[in-house]
Amino acid sequence: MALGAVVAATAAAVVAGVKVISAEMERLYYASQRTGETVGNIMALRYAAGQIGLTAEQAQASLEGFTRTLRLNPGMNGLLAQLGVTGNGPLEQFESFIGKMKQMQPYIAAQYAGLFGIDPDTLLMLENGLPKLQAAQAKYQEKLGAFHIDPERAAQAGVDFDNSVRDLTNDIHLFWVLLQEHLAPVLATISSEFEKWASGHADETARKIATALEAVAKWVQETDWQKVGKDVDTFLEKAGKVAQVIGNIVGSFARVASWFGGSDEKQSPAPSGETPPDARPDDSPFLAWVRRQRYAFQKWAGTAPQQPASHADAPQTQQQGSNAVQPKTGQAQSSAPRGIRNNNPGNIRYGEFARSAGAVGADSGGFAVFADMSAGIEATVKLLRSYASRGFDTIRKIISRWAPANENDTQAYIAAVAKQIGVSADAQLSVDQLRGVAGSIFQHENGSAYGKLGANAAPAASRSVTVSQKTDVHVHGSPDPGGTARAVAGEQARVNADLVRNMTGAYV
């Protein structure tokens, strides 16, 4: 039995590891499709980026921006030829381009790099570390050969594995649809029969309660109240016992009713078991039990949905005891979204980060509860700033992490936020624009009716600004028309960039 437990645990660990690696290889496979570069070369570039002070994502994004420009603007190949860029493949051309930029003045190189989607800071690191980058890539390629790894085959295997898991997940979902179809009538019958029993015995129950109260009243009338002391103690003891009996009778009905249908009163602690991602604070214990059983089966089958870590880069520990907070559910808030009831419009999960940001506890679904709405708003802004400090500084990067595709329509989420903020999904955001992203998240998480919360997070960044400008460029007697055209385009780009930078956060 002990050996079996060890083997099962080892197998589970291996499956979990395969899932992680297959997802990574699948992403590399599609990156290869977008860039036209081999999976092995992209892996080598990602590895080498860490040797020169860049993240793997920064290096890959620069390569993808370079190849995207060439794919969408074929005329750029002529520009590369004029610059003397060579190479047999996208990565070789990319590195040759970096080498040519290193030979130019920084302000000129930055303008050229901007045409190919490479930001100035990344360009500087690539220029300074180009020899080391190339040496690290060669070393990584040697390691692939030493381990007899075929990156292309591994990437295809990752795609096939993840697709098979998606098929299984879909089959499990269909199984639960079928199970619900068969269980719903049974549960409805149970509920109906219980209701009939309760209504048929209501008179008997009320009569027993009234009899007990009459006995207490009779005892009170017969008591000699001149004899205080022992009689008072006796009265309190007997009254307590009668109250306990009445409480047991009424409480039994209330507990059964609330277990099936839920109650506005604070529920007793739920039975042990991990809280599933779709748990709701207003679930009745019966519905909560059904959700836990379904989630346990999905975990056993390896198809359980992930907890939405997107909404907080903090440990998703289920909180119980003193940390479990029942959100305020007054008449005005009872039908409000979870984020509004919890003063947590970003739906941040309770954990180390939430506590550091002022969370006072968690609801039954594991989401943080804040003392007031301003604290919840600031917690979301603080979390977004921490994202930016780790390189997640565009709407696409932020929302892809905040609302992963396995749980959300991430692309629609990105498009909605970008439209509301009025900037490109891939533009690097300023601090003020991060607050605008927070306001858009509040609206997307809680509904358009709560978009006004964005006013507290971003008084200006969520508005669109239209700027009209005119730039006059006069050129006389140039012997190089092509070079002149590039210089004019570069100067216009600089003017535009200065205008946008100076205007960011300045309007009210």
Tens digits of residue pLDDT in 125-154: 999 999 999 999 999 999 999 999 999 998
Identify the CA nearest to 384 among candidates 368, 363, 403: 403
Q: Write down the pLDDT at residue 298.
A: 65
Provide CB contacts within 8 A for 56, sequence distance 6+: 46, 47, 49, 50
Model pTM score: 0.38
Buried (b) or exposed (e) across 170-194, using 16+ Cβ within 10 A? eebeeeeeeeeeeeeeeeeeeeeee
Token pair in block for residue 194: 């219980």
| Contact status, residue 483 vs residue 104, Cβ threshold 8 Å | no
What is the residue type of 469? Answer: Q
Largest CA distance in the chain: 122
Helix (H), strand (E) at residue 14: helix 2-35
What pLDDT digit, counting tens, does each position of 11-54 carry? 767 777 777 888 888 899 999 999 999 999 999 999 999 999 99
Q: Which span out of 195-204, 302-311, 417-426 was modeled with the highest average pLDDT?
A: 417-426
Q: Cα(179)–Cα(271) distance, rounded to whole angstroms?
A: 23
Q: Which span out of 240-249, 334-343, 475-484 was modeled with the highest average pLDDT?
A: 334-343
Whose structure tokens read 């006013």? Answer: 455
Q: Write down the pLDDT at residue 271.
A: 45
